Amino acid sequence: MKRNLKTLLALSGLVLAGHAAAQITFYEGEGFRGRAFTTNERVWNLERNGFNDRASSIVIDRGRWEVCEHARFEGRCMVLRRGSYPSLREMGMNNVISSVRPAESGRRYSNEAPEPLAAVPDYEYRRRANERVFDAPITSVRAVVGPPNQRCWVERQQVTQPSRGDANVGGAVVGGLIGGILGHQVGGGSGKDLATAGGAVAGAVIGSNQGRNGGPVVVDRDVQRCQTVQNTQPDYWDVTYNHRGVEHHVQMSAPPVGRTIAVNGNGDPRQ
C-alpha cells in the first residue's frame, strides 16, 4: 500500500512539474497584438480573467496545450504545440476559446492542430503579457534603398562581318571543266593534250578565286546586352525615436503610422 502511494505521489509530481513548465500566452489581436494573458496552469473559465472569447493569436513557450471553445473544456477542442500561432482563423478557433489546460504528457490526441507557423516562439517586437507600453515620439524616418542592380538579356541581331576568303570549290570545278574544253580545241596531237590540261588548271584557278574578295557578309547572332537599373522600392525604413531622453533606432519593413511608436520601459519597440 505504501509502495503504491509513493508511486502515485511520484507520478503526480511529474505531472505537476510538467504542467508548471508549460506556458501559453493569448493575444486579443492577430499577429500577437493587443492585450495579452499568460498562464502556466489550467483555466476552467477565461471569463474570470477577462479573456473569454477574445483570443485571436497564441504563443506557446513550453509544452502542449488544449484549448476549448466552452468553459470546463467542453465543446470543440484543439491541442496546440510549442510555437507561434499568429492567427486562429484557419483553425476555426478565433475569438471562441473559453478554457485551456496543459495536455497530458506522452498522450496522443486526435484533435492536434497543424504545425505552428514558427516552431520556436519569436519575441521580437511582440508585447509581453502584462507589459506596460509607452508612446515614444518619432524624430526621423529615412527610407533606405538598396544598391542598383544590373539587368542583362540576350537578343537576336543582324551583325555585319567581313568575308572569310575561303576558296570557291564550286567555282574551281566549273572553271576547270570550261578551261579543259577550251584547251582541247587548241592544237593537235600531244599539243592538244597539253592545252587541255593547261586549260583545266587555269580554269580551276580562276573559278576558285571567284567570290573570295567579296564585300562584307550579314549574319544573325545572339548578342548579350546589360543595363543598370536603379532601385526605387526601399529595402527598409530606418526610424529614430526618443524615449526618456535616449535616442533609439529601429529598422521597419513599412513606414510607421503616426508620429509615435509603441515601446516598453526599456525603449524596445512593441507592436
Distances (CA, A) of 91 to 14, 48, 94, 111: 31, 24, 8, 11
The pLDDT score that the predictor gives to residue 118 is: 56
Give me 119's grid cell.
Answer: 516552431
Would you write out the chain's pLDDT as a tens digit for each of its 271 residues?
444 434 333 333 333 333 445 689 998 888 887 788 889 899 999 998 899 999 999 988 888 999 999 999 999 999 998 888 888 998 899 999 999 999 988 788 888 887 775 555 555 667 766 778 899 999 999 988 878 888 888 888 877 776 655 544 455 444 445 545 545 555 555 545 544 444 444 454 455 555 455 567 778 888 888 888 887 888 888 899 999 999 998 887 788 888 998 888 888 888 7
pLDDT digits (tens, 9 = 90+) for 56-87: 999 888 889 999 999 999 999 999 988 888 88
State the SS3 of the chain.
Answer: CHHHHHHHHHHHHHHHHHHHHCEEEEEEECCCEEEEEEECCCECCHHHHCCCCCCCEEEEEECCEEEEEEHHHEEEEEEECCEEECCCCCCCCCCCCCEEEECCCCCCCCCECCCCCECCCCCCCCCCCCCCCEEEEEEEEEEECCCCEEEEEEEEEEEEECCCCCCCHHHHHHHHHHHHHHHHCCCCCHHHHHHHHHHHHHHHHHHHCCCCCCCCEEEEEEEEEEEEECCCCCCEEEEEEEECCEEEEEEECCCCCCCEEEECCCCCECC
Compute how many other C-beta atoms are within 10 angstroms of the C-beta atom of residue 183.
21
> What distance lies between CA 198 and its chain's CA centroid?
78
Q: What is the sign of the dihedral through the CA atoms of 38, 40, 45 and 48?
A: negative
pLDDT digits (tens, 9 = 90+) for 152-171: 888 888 777 766 555 444 55
Spans of all domains in the chain: 2-131, 137-147+234-263, 152-229
Please choose, from the candidates 53, 93, 36, the residue with its C-alpha nearest in 3D space to the C-alpha of residue 271: 36
The pLDDT score that the predictor gives to residue 233 is: 80
The pLDDT score that the predictor gives to residue 13 is: 39
Contacts 24+ apart (CB under 8 A), 5-14: 14/105
Give me 22's grid cell.
Answer: 508549460
- Cα 163 to Cα 157: distance, rounded to the nearest angstrom: 18
- 52-54-56-58 Cα dihedral, nearest 10 degrees: -40
- Select the CATH number that applies to the domain covering 2-131 from these four: 3.30.70.920, 2.60.20.10, 3.40.190.10, 3.30.70.100: 2.60.20.10
Please choose, from the candidates 148, 160, 207, the residue with its C-alpha nearest in 3D space to the C-alpha of residue 179: 207
The pLDDT score that the predictor gives to residue 148 is: 83
- Cα 246 to Cα 85: distance, rounded to the nearest angstrom: 34
Give me 89's grid cell.
Answer: 482563423
Question: Angle between the 190-208 and 169-184 helix axes, to the nearest 10 degrees?
Answer: 160
